[in-house]
Amino acid sequence: MFSSDKKLGIVGGGQLGKMMLYKTRQWDIYTKVLDPSKEAPSRMACNEFVQGSLTDYDTVYNFGEDCDYLTIEIENVNTDALQKLEDEGKIVHPKPSVIKLIQDKGLQKEFYQNNKFMTSPFALYASREDILQALNTGKITFPFVQKSRLAGYDGKGVAVIKTEGDIDSIMDVPSVIEDMVAIKQEIAVIAARNSQGEVKSYAPVVMEFNEEANLLDLLLFPADMDTYIADKAKKMAEDLIEKLDMCGLLAVEFFIAENDDVIINEVAPRPHNSGHQTIESCNVNQYEQHLRCVFNFPLGETTVHTKSAMINILGDKGHTGPVEYTGLDACMQKEGLHIHIYGKKETKPFRKMGHITVTNTNLEQAKTIALWAKKQIQVKSLQLQS
Ligand code: ADP
């Protein structure tokens, strides 16, 4: 792969792809990226850029035809095209069949159930009408969580229905209806597997959410938690990646219940927002680890050498248009504070525009500085709002 004429195609050109490309640049691996936006964050770091739909069969197939290896940085892609490319001899990781399974939260839940991985009790429904009927007959009871089976992304396909008063929020889409879990803590584990079957995982990270945007707010790494529960989550993530027989990264989101049950919520078969801080905290970060899996290189060490807290830089409420950042200069004066700006030219409310990782020997201190930084930074558009 190094300085060769082999080509890696990445379907999706967002920030996750961009951070993967830091390593392909360092290793001199030739890359080609597909993304619908001509201003995709990955554009500046790849060798070739193609603007086009990720979900259109012909676009994805044509994109992949001259690649030797293919991977993804988002799971909402045309898997039939990737399957055809795999059938024709391209190396595609993760496997299109695994991406297809994970795209559908219903199939995901059935996979956990069939393979005896603990997940919250659920049932599948085709429409809003079916859900209302099941409520009437007492098959579903309040409170519950509705998740769109397809293309749910960053909290947009999730509705928490607590009482009769929330009924209007029930979406009319094929859905997973889940029991509400009494959550003590939300954590994630990123596992990696190459095609020789070597498996490694990072320590769990704690995820704290922004209720309003239903988006990740703060990460603490490594999670300050009971080692028995942390080891259990790591083991579950490693078992799951093996069961899926996949190569690449698998980010596994867990709920730790009030009674300490370790419950799988959902997975993503790619680098993940919950692993950004591995750039500063580990010798081999998640992006490099993903590439090592795709190319079947030996996996890198996952040890945490420095603790960290991470916050997402999100677009401010009420601002849509060309972006202007303020407060970054104040942040630059803090020791151990690392700024990442993805390069999205347009901001909108809660759009992920960048992130900040704060490294510190003391995790509480890292958290305090990260929350301070969040207050300093404003992500606005100075264009007049309509
Ligand atoms: P997304 O794909 O949008 O990230 P998630 O499945 O992660 O959706 O759900 C978003 C958030 O909603 C979770 O992080 C959690 O806080 C809450 N949530 C989801 N499912 C449940 C559940 N069964 N019980 C309680 N809270 C839940």
How do residues 237-283 score in pLDDT, each as one tens digit?
A: 999 999 999 999 999 999 999 999 999 999 999 999 999 999 999 99
pLDDT, position 302: 98
User: Is residue 75 lining ligand 1, measured as CB closer than 6 Å?
Assistant: no
Q: Report the residue among 169, 173, 214 best suited for mutation to probe ligand 1: largest number of ligand atoms under 8 A from its CB.
A: 214
Q: Report the residue among 75, 145, 147, 256 best suited for mutation to probe ligand 1: largest number of ligand atoms under 8 A from its CB.
A: 145
Q: 157 C-alpha to center of ligand 1: Å? A: 10
Q: 112 C-alpha to center of ligand 1: Å? A: 16
Mean pLDDT per 10-residue section of the chain, whose length is 386 residues: 96 98 98 97 97 98 98 97 98 98 98 98 97 97 96 75 96 96 97 98 92 76 97 98 98 98 98 98 98 98 98 95 97 98 96 97 97 96 69
**Among protein residues, the one whose CA lies closest to atom 10 of ligand 1:** 155
State which CATH number among 3.20.20.150, 3.40.710.10, 3.40.50.300, 3.30.470.20 fits the domain covering 183-381: 3.30.470.20
DSSP assigned state of 384: P
Rounded Cα distance, 118 and 74, in Å:
25
* Closest ligand 1 atom number to CA of residue 183: 25
- The whole-angstrom distance between residue 298's C-alpha and the CA centroid of its chain comes to 23
Q: 158 C-alpha to center of ligand 1: Å? A: 7
For helices 286-294 and 15-27, the axis angle rounded to 10 degrees is 70
Q: Please state, as a whole number, how many other Cβ atoms lie within 10 Å of the Cβ of residue 95.
A: 19
Residue ranges per domain, the chain? Answer: 7-92, 121-179, 183-381
pLDDT, position 361: 98
* Closest ligand 1 atom number to CA of residue 181: 24
Q: Does domain 121-179 have CATH number 3.30.1490.20?
A: yes
H/E stretch holding 365: helix 363-376
Q: 155 C-alpha to center of ligand 1: Å? A: 7
Q: Does domain 7-92 have CATH number 3.40.50.20?
A: yes
User: Is residue 209 lining ligand 1, measured as CB closer than 6 Å?
Assistant: yes
Domain 121-179 matches domain 183-381 at the CATH topology level:
no
User: Is residue 208 lining ligand 1, measured as CB closer than 6 Å?
Assistant: no
Question: Do the Cβ atoms of 321 and 287 come closer than 8 Å?
Answer: no
Rounded Cα distance, 382 and 386, in Å:
12
Does this model's pTM top 0.85? My answer is yes
Backbone angles phi, psi at 190, to 5 degrees: -105, 115
pLDDT, position 155: 55
**Among protein residues, the one whose CA lies closest to atom 8 of ligand 1:** 155
User: Is residue 183 lining ligand 1, measured as CB closer than 6 Å?
Assistant: yes
